[in-house]
Amino acid sequence: MSNLQGKTLFITGASRGIGLAMALRAARDGANIVIAAKTTDPHPKLPGTIYTAAKEIEAAGGKALPCVVDIRNEEQIHAAVAKAVETFGGIDILINNASAISLTGTLETPLKRFDLMHGINTRGTFACSQACLPYLKKSSNPHILNNSPPLNMEARWFGPHVAYTMAKFGMSMCVLGMAEEFKDEGIAVNALWPRTVIATAAVQNLLGGDDTIKGSRSPEIMADAAYAILTKPSRSFTGNFCIDEDVLRGVGVTNFDKYQSVPGAELFPDYFI
């Protein structure tokens, strides 16, 4: 595949941040984007809604279908999938981007927060994949891409925030299992993770604010890396735990300066790297 023109992407958490950046990159090719996210009204600390995202996607050249979806709700997932198929005729790509984070230790993690992370990260990824798979099977180049890390089973990634690590690695285990399960049907299942911190609302609000943002890269690096993955033949590229920078180096990118939030600033490595 040379581009994503006419392809239908179902993207969770696409109202802002990395999910929106991935949507806009695909929209430049004329792709159809299903925005599966919760935000319908403006939030003081979280920019964007499913409706503002739809306007940006259409301005970039794509078609947008904003759907109110809490991916912990099976009925909302299936309703959005049905609407996507009714509107665009099928689903070619699923991006499991939505995620919840709490970098807290065992005693500092309320079970409500534990359930939120596992409900969105692991269960939500499984549920969206399950709902989309019957339609992905009908696509000529089907992909599932999870925004999740390599399965780096070192104690240092579990000790400080075991609940969060379990929830994110649950997404990665979906890659490991589903890639094997569906390889004979030609459905690619891969993971993508950033080498550095990415400038998102979560980083701004929860992970250090302006100081951390200075040492981060823009969501566009993840979008460009996702694009490179999603335009690969699904039968020959599956079961990979990709790092954004490595993917882009593989397609000839050597200068990453344009992605830096503050030119020349020291970059902070992301978790699990």
Catalytic residues: 164
Identify the CA nearest to 22 among candidates 235, 231, 184.
231
8-state DSSP, 198: B
Residue 161: burial class (beta carbons within 10 Å; 0-12, 13-18, 19+): buried
Half-sphere exposure for 95 (CA within 13 Å, toward CB): 32
Give φ, ψ of 6 to 5 degrees: 80, -5
Give φ, ψ of 147 to 5 degrees: -85, 80
Interatomic CA distance for residues 109 and 162, integer angstroms: 9
Give φ, ψ of 102 to 5 degrees: -155, 105
Cα separation of the two ends of the chain: 30
Interatomic CA distance for residues 191 and 171, integer angstroms: 9
Q: Report yes or no: 2 and 10 within 8 Å, Cβ to Cβ.
A: no
8-state DSSP, 122: I
| Structure tokens that stand for 180 in this block | 């094997």
Beta strands in the chain (DSSP E): 8-12, 32-37, 63-68, 93-96, 143-147, 188-193, 241-243
Cβ density class 33-56: b for 16+ within 10 Å, e for less: bbbbbbbeeeeeebbbbbebbbeb
